[in-house]
Structure 1
């Protein structure tokens, strides 16, 4: 069994938007990310959905040209094939669940 404090894990990360995998369930990766800085440019995952959960802080997410403001405790399930990005000004701790993807895909 593993246990940990997600905001402490994110705070210990040296860089923003570089994920740390804390586990795997089936084919799904569970990642912690420190949000901040300039956000993330457009990306798309043609073969899988991606779950984004704001653990602490605030995130502005644009999905298929519609903007969503997510507060602590809120989540967004990005459908496969949807173009999405995170806007500058987003900050805090993000939990991300996705599947293994090629190294060239996204900074997440």
Structure 2
């Protein structure tokens, strides 16, 4: 058990939307990532999608509404809801998902 310096991990992340796992929690992966631009529309059939913004602003677009998040704010996209995160400027965030969740929302076998 060691502490994790999120700033140090994020400084090593060079591409947006490429999460780096920093911990495991109750069977889930805790990841940090950078956001820039729009991510693809997708949904997770079997799991909710947890976002915690650390720096900047991210908008979670859903087909019927959008939720804007700033640093220190969280949002959970319920399972089965089609969504895409969008950042007009670089933002940093924490994402929590079960291991094996593909970037398009499907579960890898």
Does TM, scored on the shorter chain, surpass 0.5?
yes
Tell me if the contact between 1:39 and 1:90 (Cα under 8 Å) persists in the aligned partners.
no
1:97 aligned onto 2:96: yes
* Per-residue CA distance 1:42-99 (angstroms, 9 max, x = gap): 1100000111000111101112431111000000011100101012415221100011
Task: State the TM-score, normalized to the length of structure 2.
Answer: 0.85
Deviates most, 26-35 or 81-90 = 81-90
Aligned to 1:17: 17
Tell me if the contact between 1:30 and 1:96 (Cα under 8 Å) persists in the aligned partners.
yes
| Structure 1 residue runs without a partner (length 5+) | none
Which residues of 2 match residues 70-85 of structure 1 at below 5 A? 70-85=69-84
Q: Distance in 2 between matches of 1:35 and 1:104?
A: 14
Q: Distance in 1 between matches of 2:24 and 2:34?
A: 19
Tell me if the contact between 2:57 and 2:87 (Cα under 8 Å) persists in the aligned partners.
no
Q: Distance in 1 between matches of 2:103 and 2:75?
A: 23
Tell me if the contact between 1:22 and 1:32 (Cα under 8 Å) persists in the aligned partners.
yes
* CA RMSD of superposed structures (Å): 1.7
Count of aligned positions:
105
Moved over 4 A (4+): none
Aligned to 2:68: 69
Report the Cα offset of residue 2 of structure 1.
Answer: 1.9
